[in-house]
Amino acid sequence: MSNNQVTEFNLHTSFDSYTNLKVWEKSYFQKKYFNKALEFSKPKIGQPIFWKGFLITILTVFPLILITDLLLGFILPMQTLEPKIAIFLNLIFVAILMQYPIMPLTNKYFGHWINK
């Protein structure tokens, strides 16, 4: 399994009575297995180093803003729109492009460096 994939596990338990549920919740075994399950839920990749995340964000967002502004200028009459509406439209396209394909590509090519 690669680091980009997320795996989710669900554990369902049922009890024949409320009393048995309360006994289980206070038991040593419940604490032991709950703590063991928490170990599996911890992310394997740490938080990126702040300055590296900042640098990658600037290097991806700034050119993307310039490109979308240029492309939207060809498609829509951006100069005739109210500036706040033009910025909002640009923001929508930047957000869509950041989700896919920019962030997956950024993680693919720079993920190993960011998390060093």
3-class SS shares of the chain: helix, strand, coil, % to 5: 70, 0, 30
Question: For residue range 17-35, what is the model confidence (pLDDT) as tens digits?
Answer: 999 888 888 888 888 887 8
The model scores a pTM over 0.85: no
Write out the two tokens for 98: 């950041």
- Nearest Cα neighbor of 91 from 113, 68, 71, 109 is 68
Parse the chain into domains and list their residue ranges. 50-114
**Residue 106 neighbours by CB under 8 Å, 6+ apart:** 56, 60
Question: For residue range 54-87, what is the model confidence (pLDDT) as tens digits?
Answer: 999 999 999 999 999 899 888 888 888 898 998 9
- 59 three-state secondary structure: helix
Rounded Cα distance between 25 and 33, Å, is 11
Q: What angle do CA 41, 48, 39 make, to 5 degrees?
A: 15
